[in-house]
Structure 1
Amino acid sequence: MSRTSQNDHTTDRQDSTDAPAHEELRVVVPGGELAVLRWPAVAPDAPVVLALHGITANGLAWARVAHHLAGRVTLVAPDLRGRGRSGHLPGPYGVAAHADDMGALADALDLGRVVLTGHSMGAFAAALTAVRHPDLLSALLLVDGGVAFPVPTHLEPDELISAVLGPAMRRLSMTFPDRDAYRAFWRQHPAFAGAWSPWVDAYIQRDLVGQEPELHSSCRIEAVRADGADQLGEVVAGAVHRLPLPAVLLWAERGLMDEPQGLYDEQRLCAAGLNHERVQPRFVPGTNHYTIVAGDDGARVVAHHLLAAAGVVPAGN
């Protein structure tokens, strides 16, 4: 039976970002403990949002969304298996493992039904969680992910992941002499041009592990490979067509490198064959794949949709 570990329940205040305080918990899952961030609601009986991050990210990717949720719901955001402070967890990896970890997490923390959301790969994991654990959720929000998009078919899996993720993937095999060097690496990423903030800095610094002068990403490359390959398979890519309840898909205007072509557009969504009575796409202008959650404007939109799904604010575009 999964449980919350004792003696590892701390509070980390992001004073420089004006973000609400979050707690850090450890939840027992197969193979070890999952690190979980929790931003508690002001009201003890408030709804719960369970948020899953992207393929090389960590739970602090949701900090700016937490800022806009402003304590009206409890936000729970794990470092997924093989990333962040869950980087030590062994395999088997893959999107199904994330889905089952979410079932164990919900049991351990006695979350009840949650508003489930995921960004990028986390959206695929959220969709599969909904299929495998339908009693876990009351609503589902997918953020720039969860729906298959066109990818080159002539590349090997590692080449394909690198082609899609760019610097985010290449850093996994790099070392950095200190934290400033890692910060400088990320500040050159075109997706964050003009969008750097203390939220982004805290998120990227959480990824860094090891000792100077050989600091490195916490992401286990075998976990990233497994998740990347899974997104191309029918079980994971097809989950969005088998959802047990309706969902909303928020899609960013621009791509991972802030290029004009985002992961989605009207034509790609049409080609995906979505049942729009089950999955309702909503365009989020002025955002790219990262800033839809890490930028202020994008995080505000995501938070509004989460609050609407939780019944805290009226629904609307």
Structure 2
Amino acid sequence: MRVDEVGGLRLARFGDGPRVVIAVHGITASLMAWAAVGRRLPDGWSLVAMDLRGRGHSAGLPGPYGLPRHAEDVLRVADHVGADSGAVLAGHSMGAYVAALAAARREFARVVLVDGGLPLPLPAGTDPDAALAATLGPGLARLSRTFATPEDYVAFFRSHPAFVNAWNDDVEAYVRYDLTGPPGALRSRAAGEAVREDGRWLLTEAEEIGAALTSITAPVSLLRAPRGLLDQETGMLPDELAAAWTARLPLLEDEVVADCNHYTILFDERCASLVAARLTG
């Protein structure tokens, strides 16, 4: 992994091939969400992941946030690394929505949406902040907590329903990368303000997301996890939602990645290998 920076955005490159994947992480995540996939790319490829503003080592970048702002940052990163129209653009979770917005503005060879990217309309009268808290659960709760030691933070993540039976070295590296603060008062690098602002945008701008999807001219692959953010049996993108959008978008190819949840689709060895193959195949 080689680290770089552009305009205050932290970047990491996995691999050294000339063919490039630009990869965008989720709402409370970091560039390390893509490390397991990046290491599994075939020869001739490299994966460039960034810490979105308000997360990881880009946490100090100011708002406003919102997914269109992140899409601008993604295109800035693409310019910085010399990614041309032959590059692949990928996003996981919220990052898939950011990727859709970016791909609506610029040509990529292919767009890969990993368990995200399809509009999730908010029912009338629902409070976006309450919906976000219910969806993310412990992923959001940790942003308001401090931890005495790195081991306490790791233990908190080990109890997360998505990871309790799926812990590995990649998950631990991802968790430790997210940690900052003084001894005795360690915390997540993710800024709560950024997460809340982005969550509100994601849940209230379904029409803009749909418009972006319909304007993408490149082939689009959707990789879905059958289980959800809390390892529940219903995934983030149910079959009915995927079927509606594959019927609407002739360039959208839908695939369910067996036996994974919203997070392990990127961390499990088998699943990360499959995602890497779909990015480059």
Give the TM-score range, shorter chain: over 0.9
- Provide the residue aligned with 1:225 in structure 2: 196
Residue by residue over 1:53-112, the C-alpha shift from the partner in whole angstroms, topping out at 9 and shown as x without a partner, is: 000000010111012215441110000111000000001101111111111112222222
Cα offset for 1:39?
1.2
> Relative contact order, CA 8 A, sep 6+: which one is greater?
2
Counterpart of 2:251?
278
1:255 equivalenced with 2:228 (yes/no): yes
For residues 286 and 245 of structure 1, the distance between their equivalents in structure 2, rounded to whole angstroms, comes to 28
Could you give the per-residue CA deviations for residues 14-60 of structure 1, whole angstroms, max 9, x where no partner exists? Answer: xxxxxxxx0110111xxxx100011132x4xx310000000000001
Question: CA offset at residue 275 of structure 1?
Answer: 2.5
Q: Give the fraction of aligned pairs with identical amino acids, expressed as a percent.
A: 41
Partner of 2:69: 97
Separation in 2 of the partners of 1:144 and 1:99? 18
Q: Post-superposition shift, 1:285?
A: 1.0
Is the counterpart of residue 34 in structure 1 residue 5 in structure 2? no
Partner residue in 1 for 2:136: 165
Match of 1:11 in 2: none
Task: Look up the match of 1:207.
Answer: 178
User: CA contact under 8 A between 1:55 and 1:121: conserved in structure 2?
Assistant: yes
Q: What value does the CA root-mean-square deviation take over the aligned residues?
A: 1.6
Q: 1:88 to 1:285 in 2, by over 3 A?
A: same
Measure, in 2, the Cα distance between the counterparts of 1:270 and 1:112. 31
1:200 to 1:71, Cα distance in 2 relative to 1, 3 A: farther
Summarize the alignment of residues 123-272 of structure 1 with structure 2, pairs less than 5 Å apart: 123-132=96-105, 134-135=106-107, 137-149=108-120, 153-232=124-203, 233=205, 234-272=207-245
- The match for 1:60 among 18, 32, 39 is 32
Q: Distance in 1 between matches of 2:170 and 2:177?
A: 11
CA change 1:147–1:212 in 2 (3 A) is same
Looking at structure 2, the residues matched to 244 and 271 of structure 1 have their Cα atoms a distance apart, in angstroms, of 19
Residues 151 and 292 from structure 1, CA distance in 2 versus in 1: closer, same or farther, beyond 3 angstroms? Answer: farther
2:3: which partner in 1?
24
- Please tell me the residue identity of whatever aligns with 1:222: E
Cα deviation 1:226-255 (Å, max 9, x = unaligned): 211221202234422221222010001100
Does 2:81 match 1:81? Answer: no
Q: 1:199 to 1:305 in 2, by over 3 A?
A: same
Q: 5+ residue gaps in structure 2?
A: none
1:69 aligns with 2:49: no
Distance 1:153 1:205, change over 3 A: farther
AA at the equivalent of 2:119: A
Quote the Cα distance in structure 2 between the aligned partners of 1:122 and 1:25.
Answer: 20
1:299 corresponds to which residue? 272
3-state SS of the aligned residue for 1:69? coil
Cα distance change on mapping 1:150 and 1:291 into 2, 3 Å: farther
In structure 1, list runs of 5 or more residues that go unmatched. Answer: 1-21, 309-317
Give the ranges of 4+ consecutive aligned residues of structure 1 lying more than 6 Å apart after TM superposition.
Answer: none
Change (3 A) 1:273 1:249: closer
Question: Which residue of 1 is the match for residue 89 of structure 2?
Answer: 116
| 1:146 shift after superposition | 0.1
AA in 1 matched with 2:187: H
TM-score with structure 1 setting the length: 0.84
Deviation track 1:95-153 (CA, whole Å, cap 9, x = no partner) reads 11111111111222222231000000000000000012x23x21110000000236554
What letter is aligned with 2:223? L
